[in-house]
Amino acid sequence: MRLLGLDYGSKTVGVAMTDPTLFLASPVETIKREDEVNLKQTVRRIRAICEENDIHLIVLGLPLTMDGKIGKSAEKALAFQHRLERDLYLVRVIMEDERLTTWEATQPLLEAGIRRKSKRKEVVDQLAARLILQQYIDNHSREEIEQEVEKAFHKKELRNELS
């Protein structure tokens, strides 16, 4: 079993994945898109990653404001969650607080002397996705994670009953 972590942004989605033991999250790629509104290609790529790696649980970053409220960015992330839940078969998408992950992901890059924002942007979204996913697996037991995965299969049963 592997999990996928996503850092959703207006033009990119950072992607990370756990190892099969659910011990370590690693950066995978950054999905870029030209248009903030058109998500078809982005969803297609995420679906392909899930199918290739037998992933049934996605941890999507929720960019709450510093005082814990839902702002415009969080609303967009929640809308993206609903889109993924609708379009991905046998995949559950849960939200994880991502406050400060982009800042935290940027610090080692700055310390390594990568000053140009364009160079940092190439990897910072992946690193933020890794931090979101690592935070989730560090804060949940394997049993809790397996229960979340089971809900993806329950979602399929509900869809079948409704059709």
- Domain holding 123: CATH number? 3.30.420.140
Q: Which carries the bigger pLDDT value, residue 50 or residue 37?
A: 50
Dist CA 162 CA 158 (whole Å): 6
- 24 pLDDT above the threshold of 90: yes
Q: Has residue 3 got a pLDDT over 90?
A: yes
Instruction: Please state the rounded mean pLDDT for residues 31-59.
Output: 93
Give residue 124's pLDDT.
Answer: 79
Task: Give the residue with greater pLDDT, 7 vs 162.
Answer: 7
Q: Check whether 159 has a pLDDT greater than 60.
A: no
Range of the domain at 65: 2-162
Rounded to an integer, the average pLDDT of 15-19 is: 97
Give the lowest-confidence range in 42-51, 52-61, 121-130, 135-144: 121-130
Question: Phi/psi at 10 (nearest 5 deg)?
Answer: -65, -30
pTM score: 0.87
Summarised one tens digit per residue, pLDDT across range 116-145 is: 666 666 687 888 899 999 999 999 999 999
Average pLDDT, the chain: 87
| pLDDT band at residue 88 under the 50/70/90 scheme | very high
The per-residue pLDDT for 130 is 94
Q: Do the beta carbons of residue 120 and residue 109 sit within 8 Å?
A: yes
Number of domains comprising the chain: 1
Q: Are 122 and 12 in contact (CB under 8 A)?
A: no
In contact, 69 and 16? CB cutoff 8 Å: no
Judged on CB neighbours under 10 Å (0-12, 13-18, 19+), 121 is middle
